[in-house]
Amino acid sequence: MGSSRRQSLIGNIVVYGALIIICIVWSVPTIGTLITSFRPADDARRTGWWTAVNEPDFTINAYKQVLAGQDATIVNPEGERVTVRGENMVQAFLNSVTVTIPAVAIPLLVAATAAYAFAWMDFPGRRMFFIVVIALLVVPLQIALVPVFRDYRALNLNGTWLAIWLAHTGFGLPLSIYLLYNYIGTIPREILESAFIDGASQFTMFTRLILPLSIPALASLTIFQFVWVWNDFLVAMTFLGTGEEVAVLTQYLQNLIGERGSDWHLLTAGAFITMLLPLIVFFSLQRFFVRGMMAGSVKG
């Protein structure tokens, strides 16, 4: 008995110790990014962020520069006061929001409808269509870019918001349908049969029963789709182009690295601003996350 307890205690220590180490490893870069974004430009260039404990001279000039495009006056290594231009990322932020919200909402709605049809409706070719959806999960995104780009060019869609919304919808549907199918398929048949006996149509059952009961899975997929679209660089560059009026945050940060690669305070401020909205979405929906990811994993 004592040996079993000791082994259990050792196992818990190992598991929790490993989790603590992983959390620290993942948290340190974020903490370093945050601290560097508040340091003066000269300090950020000269010393590492961990030295900020000894030099607690913090400023919000970096955020003023990247958010409002405000010029800032700094002291260079030679002791001279110079004015540096700001980098306004508000337009890029709004562009990312414009891309992400429809690119999350559209595939979730389409995937939920398709998953309900695959799980609870009988129609010709149902099994074959579902196999095709599963097969699309292993198709790399990159091999579809050129054919889709050519089709968009023929339809005169390149460089438009609709182009990238449709692209993200198409690329995100296979995984969304598969996960939602697993979740919706676990809903007790008795609930749907009772609604059908009461005269509910398929549309009523979908909107009044399936969608409310599928909130955990929908929330989990919202997190995945939001983070993927928000952090996307390749699809945005391919279908929107590189113009400043349509550049998203990832493109803005890439340009900022090329233009201001030595200005660590600006790069970290821009990076941390980019992280804020995904973090808000995750922490808002994380209570559904585990339940949604366990969709269909337990039967009976």
Q: For residue range 55-105, list pLDDT tens digits in order.
A: 777 888 888 888 766 555 555 555 555 555 556 788 888 999 999 999 999
Instruction: Kindly state the helix (H) or strand (E) to which residue 74 belongs, with its residue range.
Output: strand 72-75
pLDDT class for 168, splitting at 50, 70, 90?
A: very high
Angle at 232 between CA 227 and CA 233, to 5 degrees: 160
Count CB-CB contacts under 10 A for residue 73.
9
Instruction: Let me know if 262 is exposed, middle or buried by CB neighbors in 10 A (0-12, 13-18, 19+).
Output: exposed
Q: How many CA atoms lie within 13 A of 291 on its CB side?
A: 13
Mean pLDDT of 146-154: 89
Mean pLDDT of 199-221: 86
Side chain identity, residue 194: S
pLDDT for residue 161: 92
Instruction: Let me know if 263 is exposed, middle or buried by CB neighbors in 10 A (0-12, 13-18, 19+).
Output: buried
Tokens of 66: 């990247």
Tell me what percent of the residues of the chain surpass a pLDDT of 70. 87
Task: List CB contacts of 43: < 8 A, sequence separation 6 or more.
Answer: 52, 55, 57
Q: For residue range 115-147, list pLDDT tens digits in order.
A: 999 988 888 888 899 889 888 888 888 888 888
Instruction: Let me know if 170 is exposed, middle or buried by CB neighbors in 10 A (0-12, 13-18, 19+).
Output: middle
Tokens of 167: 């692209």
Task: For domain 90-293, say whether CATH 1.10.3720.10 is its number.
Answer: yes
Side chain identity, residue 117: A
Domain range annotation of the chain = 2-70, 90-293
Give the integer Cα–Cα distance in Å for 146 and 127: 30
On whether the pTM is more than 0.95, the answer is no
Residue 298 has pLDDT above 50, yes or no: no
